[in-house]
Amino acid sequence: MIYLTRRETFNAAHRLFKPEYNDEKNFEIFGKCSNPNWHGHNYVLYITVKGIPDAETGMVVNLKKLSQIIQQYVIEKVDHKNLNTEVNFMQGRMASTEIIAMAIWEQLEQPILESGAQLYKIRLEETENNSVEYFGK
């Protein structure tokens, strides 16, 4: 079994807040990440798939195909976007790194399966100091 990882990046705006709270309460819970005027990040996304290298090609998955899937189902929807207001798969969800990673898993699991590989891990870096990993459960 080989675990293959593709790195992609996107730049987006977001904020952490609960719409039912006022700004003071949001600041109390989420700190400066709750700024009502938004802030943003250069997100770094690592997609890991697992599989047995094909006997013919020596590859778990065609990397160009994998990159296209990530572009189509994730990057095009989030790059240079507002994660709270413009991304269909984030509607009604907290735009925390944890929830974004889980939502990206949902986007990619089926298309990657159809390409012949199996999604194993989502790793999402918000900054050089903060990152999360999600394995689908």
Residues 6+ apart with CB under 8 A from 117: 4, 49, 50, 51, 60, 61, 66
33 binds a copy of itself (CB under 8 A): yes
Amino acid present at 61: V
95 binds a copy of itself (CB under 8 A): yes
99 binds a copy of itself (CB under 8 A): yes
Catalytic residues: 33, 80, 126
In the complex, least distance from residue 58 CB atom to a copy of itself, rounded to whole angstroms: 3
Q: Please give the span between the terminal C-alpha atoms of the chain, in angstroms, as a whole number.
A: 20
User: For helices 63-70 and 97-114, what crossing angle results, to 10°?
Assistant: 130
Nearer to a copy of itself, 111 or 123 (CB): 123
In the complex, least distance from residue 113 CB atom to a copy of itself, rounded to whole angstroms: 19
Query: Applying CB under 8 A, which of residues 22, 68, 80, 91 lies at the interface with a copy of itself?
Result: 80
Residues 6+ apart with CB under 8 A from 29: 18, 21
In the complex, least distance from residue 39 CB atom to a copy of itself, rounded to whole angstroms: 4
